[in-house]
Amino acid sequence: MVDAKKVFPLQIVDVHGLVYSGQCVFLVLPGELGELGILAHHAPLLTMLQAGEMRMHLVDGSMEVAFLEGGFAEIQPNGVTVLADVSLRIPDLNPTAIKENIENAKTAVAENKHSEIDFLNAEQELRRELAKYRAYQKYATIPPDEKNEYDWQRPPAPEAPKIHPSALED
């Protein structure tokens, strides 16, 4: 049994709604400057998150892993709230699609024929896809009997629709 003083409430929300709400013993987040380890009674902190793995060490001793495509985290002594751009279950990652996205992003970065903003977007996409691929490779090496499949409260989110600015005009 885990000491109640070593547990904190954790809420994870992404663009599709509540992903997780429960008690956590230790949380690892992909911070902008590296991984952040969070325990109960952590000093207050508001931080940006980059694309990468989020590891939740739960009260029952299990560890759950999710992939975040960036976002923010609010850490307070009495709990943590993660506002993710998108959160994905590692088993739902498609390595074939990821490899294709990596190649497309590499091409866009290498060509650099567009504005600086286009270059930065392509570079950010490349980093996000590489982080996804690393997370998938790491997950794939775990023996099946050791994988803890987190029972998410919602089905995997479909890809966000592509919105073109011209479609928003009257």
**């001793």: which residue's tokens?**
61
Residue 2 has pLDDT above 80, yes or no: no
Q: pTM for the complete prediction? A: 0.68
Hey, what's the torsion of the CAs at 77, 52, 72, 104, to 10 degrees? 180
Phi, psi for residue 131 in degrees, rounded to 5: -65, -40
Residue 110: pLDDT band (50, 70, 90) is confident
- What does pLDDT average to over the chain? 80
- Pairwise CA distance, residues 167 & 54, whole Å: 35
Residue 157 has pLDDT above 60, yes or no: no
Which helix or strand (DSSP H or E) is residue 34 part of?
A: strand 34-38
Share of the chain above pLDDT 70, in %: 78
- Closest alpha carbon to 29 in 60, 57, 59, 61: 57
In angstroms, how far is CA 56 from the centroid of its own chain?
12
Side-chain-side CA neighbours of 72 within 13 Å: the count stands at: 4
As a whole number, mean pLDDT of residues 49-63 equals: 89
Residues 6+ apart with CB under 8 A from 164: none
Beta-bridge partner residues of 83: 13, 72
The answer to whether 41 and 48 are in contact (CB under 8 A) is: no
Q: Which two tokens stand for residue 77?
A: 């002594």
